[in-house]
């Protein structure tokens, strides 16, 4: 698998690897941790590199114990290049894990650098040449199921055969929309784009249970229900079957997310706990278009400052050729935010959303998104996207602005609320505040008429005596 070696960046520095006493030494001759390879003269019948017994251990045949180097380093197996990251055959495809026994991972598991490298791996494995490579070498993908407790699941690779993942997921949109039409849609997550944008982070499956459509989001062998079963009310029997499908208490992330307040059945406390996950912001759209009265004085001021500074700013519809400029703006915006905020959760969210924005822009028309951009001196300085949530409510899903222009955020938001595609709706939903005080402060400054609660449902831990909400 040496053909990949020139293009795969290493996460662990070589100087660290040479001092480590973990890799290349195995407890058993048939250890699952041995690398697989395609060079027949060096492997056993199962494609594992053979070992040499030494002082009660079993060394990789290429390991030089005098200086801890590799005799075939430039042409080493891809498993060795990728480590401490692993390719494992999962139940929904090829999964990427990280080996938690690696000392370098233990020291850096919470670092932003690890998250950035995972993002790099996502892009690496999405490359057509790498996908072709994996198709030719499927037999070299391990099954780390027996030792999965020693790893942490990261993501599932897009399918290697058939349509690419985005098109495969889009093929489910019609059935999703059909069941959605039979459901209440009070929350921002009740739109296909809310699922589609996160396909690089979860493997979504669509299953009908008791005439309800269930959208499961999987991470390796564990998963959760992204929405309550669609097509009718939340029934105890359906919920029970969904938790059985997710593996019950064995699955640590099993839950049902994005449950609205209507109706919440009285589930037995010993079986399920309901809890408040977030609150979404709901406004009268006309209030945000007019910005009348003392309550909106600061927003009118910000817009006035912007228009005075940029009298020729132009709002127009997003077109596909704008995508790269918009993504460049996102990178600039995210870099500014990272410089001001050190919270690792927030930094991780910025990195994840780069992928989400790119996917939604690439498929905006297919997803039914309305997109607008603001041009200043011929350059895109802001963009926003949204969608019709129900007959009365429009949802603003994305908004990014060039932070150098004071008042631009207030300007594009106001213009979007007044746009002909948005003006037929009575209400505007701007999603939740991500538990960030500054975001909450900004959204509250626009005077929402309601904070819409978002609930989740989970099974209590075996020792838990919690009560249902």
pLDDT of residue 92: 64
Angle, helices 323-340 vs 344-362, to 10°: value is 170
Decide whether 165-279 matches 280-452 in CATH topology.
Answer: yes
Taking the C-alpha atoms of residue 232 and residue 224, their distance in angstroms, rounded to an integer, is: 19
Q: CA gyration radius for the chain?
A: 25
**Among 284, 257, 4, 233, which Cα is nearest to 124's?**
4
Which architecture characterizes domain 165-279 according to CATH? 3-Layer(aba) Sandwich (3.40)
Going from N- to C-terminal start, the domains of the chain cover: 2-155, 165-279, 280-452
Confidence band (pLDDT; 50, 70, 90) for 263? low
Give residues with Cβ within 8 angstroms of 23, minimum separation 6: 17, 80, 83
Task: Supply 309's token pair.
Answer: 């500074």
Task: Supply 233's token pair.
Answer: 């009310």
- The pLDDT tens digits for 361-377 are 999 999 999 999 999 99
Beta bridge partners of 395: 387, 429
Confidence band (pLDDT; 50, 70, 90) for 129? confident
Average pLDDT of the segment spanning 209-224: 91
- The pLDDT tens digits for 293-351 are 999 999 999 999 999 999 999 999 999 999 999 999 999 999 998 888 777 778 888 88
Report residue 16 CA to chain centroid gap. 31
Confidence band (pLDDT; 50, 70, 90) for 4? very low
**How many Cβ atoms are within 10 Å of 443's Cβ, its own excluded?**
20
- The count of C-alpha atoms lying within 13 angstroms of the C-alpha of 292, restricted to the half-sphere facing its C-beta, is 6
- The pLDDT tens digits for 5-37 are 436 888 999 999 998 988 899 989 888 899 988
Could you please state the CATH topology (level 3) that the domain comprising 280-452 is classified under: Aminopeptidase (3.40.630)
Confidence band (pLDDT; 50, 70, 90) for 468? very low
Give residues with Cβ within 8 angstroms of 328, minimum separation 6: none
Angle, helices 112-126 vs 344-362, to 10°: value is 20
**Among 82, 65, 83, 63, which Cα is nearest to 73's?**
63
Taking the C-alpha atoms of residue 182 and residue 177, their distance in angstroms, rounded to an integer, is: 9
- The pLDDT tens digits for 31-69 are 889 998 888 777 787 888 989 998 888 999 999 988 999
């Amino acid at each position: 698998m040496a053909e990949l070696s020139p293009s795969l960046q290493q996460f662990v520095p070589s100087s660290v690897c040479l001092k480590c006493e973990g890799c290349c030494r195995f407890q058993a001759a048939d250890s699952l941790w041995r690398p697989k390879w395609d060079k027949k003269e060096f492997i056993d019948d199962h494609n594992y590199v053979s070992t040499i017994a030494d002082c009660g251990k079993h060394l990789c045949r290429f390991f030089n114990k005098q200086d801890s180097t590799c005799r075939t380093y430039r042409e080493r197996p891809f498993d060795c290049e990728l480590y401490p990251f692993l390719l494992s055959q999962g139940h929904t495809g090829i999964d990427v894990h990280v080996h938690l026994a690696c000392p370098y991972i233990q020291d850096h598991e919470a670092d932003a650098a690890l998250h950035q490298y995972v993002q790099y791996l996502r892009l690496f494995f999405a490359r057509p040449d790498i996908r072709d490579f994996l198709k030719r070498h499927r037999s070299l993908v391990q099954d780390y199921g027996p030792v999965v407790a020693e790893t942490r699941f990261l993501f599932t690779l897009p399918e290697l055969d058939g349509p690419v993942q985005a098109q495969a997921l889009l093929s489910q949109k019609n059935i999703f929309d059909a069941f959605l039409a039979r459901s209440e849609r009070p929350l921002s997550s009740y739109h296909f784009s809310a699922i589609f944008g996160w396909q690089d982070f979860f493997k979504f499956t669509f299953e009908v249970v008791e005439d309800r459509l269930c959208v499961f989001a999987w991470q390796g062998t564990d998963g959760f229900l992204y929405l309550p079963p669609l097509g009718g009310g939340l029934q105890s029997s359906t919920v029970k079957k969904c938790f059985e499908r997710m593996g019950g208490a064995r699955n640590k992330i099993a839950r049902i997310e994005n449950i609205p307040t209507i109706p919440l059945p009285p589930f037995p406390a010993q079986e399920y706990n309901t809890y408040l996950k977030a609150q979404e912001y709901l406004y009268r759209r006309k209030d945000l278009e007019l910005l009348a009265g003392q309550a909106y004085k600061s927003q009118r001021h910000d817009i006035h400052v912007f228009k005075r500074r940029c009298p020729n700013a132009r709002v127009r519809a997003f077109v596909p050729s704008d995508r790269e400029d918009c993504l460049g703006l996102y990178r600039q915006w995210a870099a500014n935010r990272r410089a001001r905020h050190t919270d690792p959760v927030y930094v991780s969210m910025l990195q994840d959303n780069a992928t989400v924005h790119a996917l939604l822009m690439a498929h905006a028309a297919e997803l039914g998104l309305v997109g607008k951009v603001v041009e200043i001196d011929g350059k895109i300085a802001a963009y926003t996207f949204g969608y019709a949530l129900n007959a009365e409510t429009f949802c603003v899903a994305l908004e990014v602005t060039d932070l150098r222009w004071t008042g631009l955020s207030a300007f594009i938001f106001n213009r979007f609320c007044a746009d002909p595609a948005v003006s037929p709706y009575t209400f505007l939903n701007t999603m939740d505040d991500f538990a960030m005080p500054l975001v909450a402060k900004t959204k509250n400054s626009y005077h929402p008429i309601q904070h819409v609660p978002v609930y989740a449902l989970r099974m209590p831990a075996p020792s838990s005596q919690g009560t249902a909400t």
